[in-house]
Amino acid sequence: MKIVIQRVTKASVTIEGEKVANIANGLLVLLGIVNDDTTDDIKWLTNKIVNLRIFGDENDVMNKSIKDINGDAIVVSQFTLHASTKKGNRPSYIKAAKPDVAIPLYETFIQQLSTDLGKAIQTGQFGADMKVDILNDGPVTIIIDSKNRE
């Protein structure tokens, strides 16, 4: 499981002209799932997300987590995070999990993140053509792969 976390001052997701998610201060999380991902990957990643100290304290030093600032989060499914570009110029997405595997893990990820953060998580829609609008704060963008824990 791979995620891209972006610290934002605002973010939204629009599908077919309708805004389906909208937050102010918090995190936009892009989530890519592969076939061998498990609930263990989910628990490790959601714990990492809620405790990652990437928000400024009173001295503007990155010492606070999303929990500390009571921030919000949007999770967007993003199969292209597992693109392979080794051959040619057209990316291959063969590593990305198919919907029958990915959707239950995506839903479990959202539920676990909500539990860990102690609030509802906004989302895009799995498999939809989404327009994601963000104002990246910093910019702070972090990539985490649950298979690279050590």
Q: Name the residues annotated as catalytic.
A: 80
Distance between CA atoms of residues 31 and 78, nearest Å: 5
H helices of 13-98, in order, are 39-51
Distance CA 13, CA 20 (A): 6
- Long-range contacts of the stretch 107-111 (C-beta < 8 A, 24+): 108/39, 108/42, 109/1, 109/31, 109/42, 109/45, 109/46, 109/75, 110/75
Peptide bond before 139: cis, by omega within 30 degrees of 0?
A: yes
